[in-house]
Amino acid sequence: MEDTIAAISTALGVGAISIIRVSGNEAINIVNKITKFKKLDKVDSHTINYDYIVEKDKIIDEVLISVMKAPKTFTKEDIVEINCHGGIATTNKVLELLLTNGCRLAEPGEFTKRAFLNGRIDLIEAEGIMDLINSKTEISRNLAINQVDGSTSQLIKDLRQSIIEILANIEVNIDYPEYEDIEEMTTKMLGERISDIENSIKTILNKSENGKIVKEGINVALIGRPNVGKSSLLNCLLEDNKAIVTDIAGTTRDCVEGTINIDGIIVNLIDTAGIRETNDVVESIGVNKSIDLMNNSDLVLLLLNNNEELTNEDMELLDNIKDKNYLIVINKTDLAAKIDISKLDKDKIIYISALNNKGIDELKNKIKQIFNIDKIETSDLTYLTNARSISLLKQSLNAITDIKMGIGNNLPIDMLEIDLKNVWNLLGSIIGVTYEEELIDQLFSQFCLGK
């Protein structure tokens, strides 16, 4: 009974479709859990099935799923392949769901290794496989150094430290019960300490900006007076990206006009224009709503008209966004320049002509620059590990929920500790630490014991 493994098996960020391969006894069951129709356990072997990947009720992607039952597969195990259409972010989200539902991220070369061990591949290839494992491990080891940024890694280390202190306290109560002068970790105290840890994990999940960009994309708000060309710009941006369907979480959902994909990263375009125009009667409400939207976005595009002078309203909008991450997009370069840019930050200006579809690539490049998309893209394994990290953090939160339920049910500390150890191990896997002696070392350094 081997683990069921999963990995993205196509190069990320290249091509419109990416394939996630899942192999192992549980492959069909696990994938089935995250589909909308939940019928994969009933379909024939070697069939392609149309379905949706869902998280609870939310649709993540529209997919084709190949189901191949053992033994006539690459690994001679059950294999499920998911063809995703939604770019890096969605593919990554699907992988994360698989990992959270019981798959393990495949080790370098593991599919090939399984194929060999199960007799699918010729013996002559054994050496090659061993080389492959070696080299892929080397690559992922190099990438692993960069996978979790320093500050996040420090946060996780700190969290593990507080957990191991609790664990050592519980262990010392168990292994040295006669030491009455050592404070006993009661389930009540555990409950308090665990809530702090839960909050920290949530913070890490939320603050992990890179993670958020990958998961939810970048929110870009378009603002500007009526008739500066917001709709035209939107249309230009959306023109060649109609294929993407993604449901976006968050407060801005209602206002998302469309989503584009810049080199695999999702960019949610939020048009504030509609609000202003429909609420024209009560001008101030419109402005307030726009401000809210702006505040919830990662980037604001202030659209100005090349063919008009700056108005007070333009200046008011500019004032509103001066502390935000913003770009000034001057539209209508096809018309005569009447705008005075002396009061504007020239580094932030992009000229476009929405009518002639000019300057759009420059705008996209600028957005890429701002969010370092190039850098993210080049190390595509970062995403793999990111999905893994996110899934590990979520599994930690699940385990903490179990602990809290256990406390509610008056379970003894020994049972609760099982889940706490699990959290400690899960967090350890994120930063690649799994040293068993750690706990025993902690026990003897934290407490004074002896005969």
Among 130, 243, 249, 337, which residue sits at the site for another protein (rule: CB under 8 A)? 130
Contact 377, 13 (CB under 8 A): yes
Q: Indicate whether 439 belongs to the interface with another protein (CB under 8 A).
A: yes
Question: Which letter, b or e, does each residue of 348-366 get, where b requires 16 or more Cβ atoms within 10 Å of its Cβ?
Answer: ebbbbbbeeeebbeebbeb
State the residue for tokens 């970048």.
218
Write the interaction track for another protein spanning residues 175-214; mark x where CB under 8 A is met and - where it is not.
Answer: xxxxxxx---------------------------------
Q: Indicate whether 1 belongs to the interface with another protein (CB under 8 A).
A: yes
Q: Indicate whether 139 belongs to the interface with another protein (CB under 8 A).
A: no
Q: Which of 88, 87, 106, 115 is nearest to 3 (CA)?
A: 106
Measured CA to CA, the distance from residue 247 to residue 300 in angstroms comes to 21
Q: Indicate whether 71 belongs to the interface with another protein (CB under 8 A).
A: no
Beta strands in 69-195 (DSSP E): 79-84, 104-105
Q: Least CB distance from residue 149 to another protein, whole Å?
A: 24
Which DSSP state fits 218? E
Please work out the total of residues on this chain that contact another protein, with binding judged by CB under 8 A: 47
Q: Least CB distance from residue 361 to another protein, whole Å?
A: 43
Among 17, 48, 337, 448, which residue sits at the site for another protein (rule: CB under 8 A)? 448
Residue 55 or 107 with smaller CB distance to another protein: 107
Residue 182 or 344 with smaller CB distance to another protein: 182
Stretch that binds another protein, among 47-55, 110-118, 243-251, 275-283 (CB under 8 A): 110-118
State the residue for tokens 């991450």.
325
Stretch that binds another protein, among 66-74, 119-127, 150-158, 246-254 (CB under 8 A): 119-127
Q: Indicate whether 150 belongs to the interface with another protein (CB under 8 A).
A: no
Q: Which of 327, 366, 362, 352 is nearest to 229 (CA)?
A: 352
Q: Indicate whether 17 belongs to the interface with another protein (CB under 8 A).
A: no
Residue 329 or 400 with smaller CB distance to another protein: 400
Cis peptide before 71 (omega within 30 of 0): yes
Which DSSP state fits 8? E
Helix (H, G, I), strand (E, B) or coil at 80: strand
Q: Least CB distance from residue 107 to another protein, whole Å?
A: 6
**Tokens found for residue 168:** 């050592």
Stretch that binds another protein, among 95-103, 104-112, 219-227, 304-312 (CB under 8 A): 104-112
Measured CA to CA, the distance from residue 403 to residue 415 in angstroms comes to 9
Measured CA to CA, the distance from residue 380 to residue 48 in angstroms comes to 27
Contact partners, residue 109, CB within 8 Å, separation at least 6: 129, 132, 133, 136, 137
Site for another protein in 382-421 (CB under 8 A): 409-415, 418
- Point out which residues bind another protein (CB under 8 A): 1-3, 107-110, 113, 116-119, 123, 126, 129-131, 133-134, 137, 171, 173-181, 409-415, 418, 435, 439-440, 443-444, 448-451
